[in-house]
C-alpha cells in the first residue's frame, strides 16, 4: 500500500502521551436509571422502579455530581445534551426544566444547542412532551421497536402499537426533531413484517431513524432464556432490506445503525463517533475528558441508591473508576468509534483528538487494508464496504496486543 509506506510521522504526541493543540467538542450525557419494566433484551443500567421515581433525591444528587465535575470542564462550551436511560420520560417536565436550568447555571450551554430526551411510548403524555419542549428539549428519541403488537409483547415492551403511533404524533407536535428507534430480527419475525415496520416508521416523516438488529446480550433474560430468532441468513436479508427501504426513502445511512434525512443527524452521537469528549452525570454514567497532555475516562457508581448517597459525601467517591488512556487505548478507541461512520473521518482528526500520529497505527492499518477492510491511505480513515460488513473484524485489527 504505497500511501501507507510513504507516510511521514507528524503530530504532537510524545512517547505515547498525547499533546492536544485544542480540546475536542464537549457533550453532556445525563443518565436517568429507572424504568417501568426491565425489558428481557436490555443490558443498559436500568432499574425497575416501584411506585414514584424519587425526583427530589435524584435532582439533589445530580446537582452535587455536577458541582464536583465542573473543575474538569471549567470554561468549556457544551455542544449537545442527551438525557438517556432507563426511561427519562418518567421524569416530570418540571424536573427536566430544573435540570436544564441547573446546567445553564454551571456550564456554558450556547442557545439552540441540540438537547435530546429519550422517551418510552408507554410513558408518553402530550402535556409532558410540551413541557419538555418548553424546558429546552428540542429533540425526542422514541423507543418504538416495532408496530406489531405480538412482537412488542415478545420484547416485553409496556406499550402497544396504538400507543407508539400516538406518542410519535405527540412528539412531532412538541419538537421539530424526532428519532424513532426500531429493532429487527425479532422473535418470530418474518421478512414481510420487518419491511412493514420500517415502512410505517418512514410514513411518519421524522428526520431520523435508528434501526437496530436485536442481539442477545450477556446478563439479560434473553441470554438466559433465548427466544427463537430468525436464522442468520434471514437476519442478513432483513438488514439489507432495512437499509434499502430507508435509503430509497431519502435517508442516508451515515452510521451503522443510524439513518438521517439531510441535516438531521444526531449531533450528540456524532460527537461520540468522532472521538469528542463527554461528561456523564448520573448512576453508571461514563465520561471521556481531554486535557492538554492526558485523556481520561471515568465511571460513576452504578446503583442509583449508591450514586445518590456517594455524591452527597462530596469526596469524589461516587466516581468508582478513573483511568488515563495510553497510546494503545487511544488508537483502538478512536478506531472503534470512527469506523462506525460510513464516510469515516479525515486522518487529521486522529492527530487532533489523540495527540498521536497515525504512524503509530501504520502496521495495523496496512494489514487491514491488505485484507480489504480499510480504505488505503492516511488522508481518510474509512472502512471499505466489506470492512463495514465485517465491522467487528476491522475494529479488532486495532486492539492492543
Instruction: Give residue-wise pLDDT tens across range 130-148.
Output: 999 999 999 999 999 999 9
Residues with Cβ < 8 Å from 215, sequence gap 6 or more? 41
What's the pTM? 0.93
Could you tell me if residue 141 is inside a domain? yes
Give residue 400's pLDDT: 73
Answer yes or no: do 11 and 95 share one domain. Answer: no
CA 253-344-332 angle, 5° bins: 120
- Per the structure, the count of domains in the chain is 2
Same domain? For 2 and 33 the reply is no
Residue with cell 492516511: 378
- The pLDDT of residue 44 is 87
What is the per-residue pLDDT across 291-317, written as a single tens digit (0 to 9) for each?
999 999 999 999 999 999 999 999 999
264 and 115 within one domain: yes
> Looking at the domain assignment, is residue 371 inside a domain?
yes
What is the distance between the alpha carbons of residues 150 and 196, in angstroms, rounded to a whole number?
14
Q: Is the residue at 218 inside a domain?
A: yes
Encode pLDDT of 21-41 as tens digits: 999 999 999 999 999 988 888
Same domain? For 10 and 107 the reply is no
Q: What is the pLDDT of residue 377?
A: 92
Select from 399, 378, 377, 396 the least CA-distant residue to 387: 396
Q: What pLDDT score does 298 carry? A: 98
What is the C-alpha to C-alpha distance for residues 314 and 162, in angstroms, rounded to an integer? 46
Q: Clarify whether residues 266 and 346 are in a common domain.
A: no
Say whether both 125 and 154 belong to one domain.
Answer: yes
pLDDT on residue 8: 34
256 and 366 co-located in one domain: no
Residue 305 lies in a domain: no
Do 145 and 127 fall into the same domain?
Answer: yes
Convert the pLDDT of each residue in 48-61 to its tens digit: 887 789 999 999 99
Angle between helix axes 126-135 and 161-174 (nearest 10 degrees) is 30
**Is residue 288 in a domain?**
no
Residue 363 pLDDT: 94
| Average pLDDT value for residue range 110-118 | 97
Mean pLDDT, range 350-355, rounded to an integer: 95
How big is the CA angle at 191 (ends 188 and 192), to the nearest 5 degrees? 105
Strand partners, 32: 85
pLDDT at position 265? 98
Q: What is the pLDDT of residue 1?
A: 39
In sequence order, what are the residues at sequence separation of 6 or more whose Cβ sits closer than 8 angstroms to the Cβ of residue 349? 274, 275, 338, 381
DSSP 108: B
User: Of 272, 298, 318, which marks where a domain is finished?
Assistant: 272
* pLDDT cut 90: percent of the chain above it: 86
Note whether 39 and 11 are same-domain residues. no
Q: Cβ distance 353 to 26 under 8 Å?
A: no
Query: To the nearest whole number, what is the mean pLDDT of the chain?
Result: 93
Question: Which residues, at least 6 apart from 175, have a Cβ–Cβ distance to it below 8 Å?
Answer: 129, 132, 133, 137, 138, 139, 140
User: In this model, does residue 3 exceed pLDDT 50?
Assistant: no
- CATH number for position 346: 1.10.10
Rounded Cα gap, residues 233 and 194, in angstroms? 14
**H or E element that contains 288:** strand 286-291
Q: Which of 2-6, 172-176, 389-393 has the lowest mean pLDDT?
A: 2-6
List, for residues 186-220, the tens digit of each pLDDT value. Answer: 999 999 999 999 999 999 999 999 999 999 899 88
DSSP 159-184: --HHHHHHHHHHHHHH-SEEEEEEEE
Q: Which of 251, 272, 293 is the last residue of a domain?
A: 272
Burial class of 337 by CB neighbour count within 10 A (0 to 12, 13 to 18, 19+): buried
Output the pLDDT for position 171. Answer: 97
318 in any annotated domain: no
The pLDDT of residue 124: 79
Q: 42: domain CATH number?
A: 3.20.20.70
Range of the structural domain that residue 69 is part of: 26-272
Task: Kindly state whether residues 257 and 340 are assigned to the same domain.
Answer: no
DSSP alpha helices (H): ranges in 84-224? 93-106, 126-135, 149-154, 161-174, 191-203, 221-224
pLDDT score recorded for residue 181 = 97
| Confidence at 6, pLDDT banded by 50, 70, 90 | very low
Indicate if the pLDDT at residue 266 is higher than 50.
yes
Domain limit, last residue, from 272, 307, 337? 272
Banded pLDDT at 43 (limits 50, 70, 90): confident
Does residue 48 share a domain with residue 9?
A: no
pLDDT, position 126: 78
- How confident is the model at residue 16, as a pLDDT? 46
264 burial type by CB count under 10 A (0-12 exposed, 13-18 middle, 19+ buried): buried
Same domain, 7 and 106: no
Assigned domain for 279 exists: no
Residue where the block lists cell 427530589: 56
Looking at the predicted structure, is the pLDDT value of residue 341 above 80? yes
Question: Does any domain span residue 266?
Answer: yes
Distance CA 335, CA 397 (A): 9
pLDDT of amino acid 17? 54
pLDDT above 70 (res 15) = no
Amino acid at each position: 500500500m504505497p500511501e501507507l509506506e510513504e507516510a511521514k510521522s507528524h503530530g504532537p504526541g510524545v512517547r505515547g502521551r498525547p499533546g492536544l493543540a485544542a480540546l475536542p467538542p464537549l457533550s453532556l450525557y445525563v443518565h436517568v436509571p429507572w424504568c417501568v419494566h426491565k425489558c428481557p433484551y436490555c443490558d443498559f443500567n436500568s432499574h425497575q422502579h416501584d411506585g414514584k421515581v424519587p425526583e427530589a433525591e435524584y435532582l439533589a444528587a445530580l446537582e452535587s455530581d455536577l458541582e464536583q465535575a465542573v473543575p474538569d470542564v471549567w470554561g468549556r462550551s457544551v455542544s449537545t445534551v442527551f438525557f438517556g436511560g432507563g426511561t427519562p420520560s418518567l421524569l416530570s417536565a418540571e424536573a427536566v426544566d430544573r435540570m436544564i436550568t441547573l446546567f445553564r447555571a454551571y456550564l456554558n450551554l450556547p442557545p439552540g444547542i441540540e438537547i435530546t430526551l429519550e422517551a418510552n411510548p408507554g410513558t408518553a403524555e402530550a402535556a409532558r412532551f410540551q413541557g419538555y419542549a418548553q424546558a429546552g428539549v428540542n429533540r425526542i428519541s422514541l423507543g418504538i421497536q416495532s408496530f406489531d403488537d405480538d412482537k412488542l409483547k415478545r420484547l416485553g415492551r409496556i406499550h402497544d402499537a396504538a400507543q407508539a403511533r400516538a406518542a410519535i404524533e405527540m412528539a412531532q407536535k412538541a419538537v421539530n426533531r424526532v428519532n424513532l428507534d426500531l429493532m429487527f430480527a425479532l422473535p418470530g419475525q418474518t421478512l414481510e413484517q420487518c419491511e412493514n415496520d420500517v415502512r410505517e416508521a418512514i410514513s411518519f416523516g421524522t428526520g431520523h431513524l435508528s434501526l437496530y438488529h436485536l442481539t442477545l446480550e450477556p446478563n439479560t433474560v434473553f441470554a438466559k432464556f433465548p427466544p427463537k430468532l430468525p436464522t442468520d441468513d434471514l437476519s442478513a436479508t432483513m438488514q439489507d432490506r432495512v437499509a434499502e427501504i430507508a435509503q430509497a426513502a431519502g435517508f442516508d445511512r451515515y452510521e451503522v445503525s443510524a439513518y438521517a434525512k439531510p441535516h438531521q443527524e444526531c449531533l450528540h452521537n456524532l460527537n461520540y463517533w468522532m472521538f469528542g469528549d463527554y461528561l456523564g452525570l448520573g448512576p453508571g454514567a461514563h465520561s471521556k475528558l481531554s486535557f492538554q497532555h492526558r485523556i481520561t475516562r471515568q465511571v460513576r457508581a452504578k446503583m442509583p441508591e449508591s450514586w445518590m448517597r456517594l455524591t452527597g459525601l462530596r469526596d469524589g467517591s461516587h466516581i468508582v473508576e478513573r483511568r488515563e488512556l495510553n497510546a494503545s487505548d487511544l488508537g483502538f478507541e478512536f478506531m472503534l468509534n470512527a469506523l462506525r461512520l460510513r464516510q469515516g473521518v479525515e486522518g487529521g482528526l486522529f492527530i487532533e483528538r489523540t495527540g498521536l500520529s497515525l504512524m503509530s497505527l501504520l502496521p495495523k492499518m496496512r494489514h487491514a487494508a491488505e485484507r480489504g477492510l480499510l480504505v488505503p491511505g492516511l488522508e481518510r480513515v474509512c472502512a471499505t464496504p466489506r470492512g463495514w460488513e465485517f465491522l467487528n473484524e476491522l475494529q479488532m485489527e486495532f486492539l492492543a496486543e
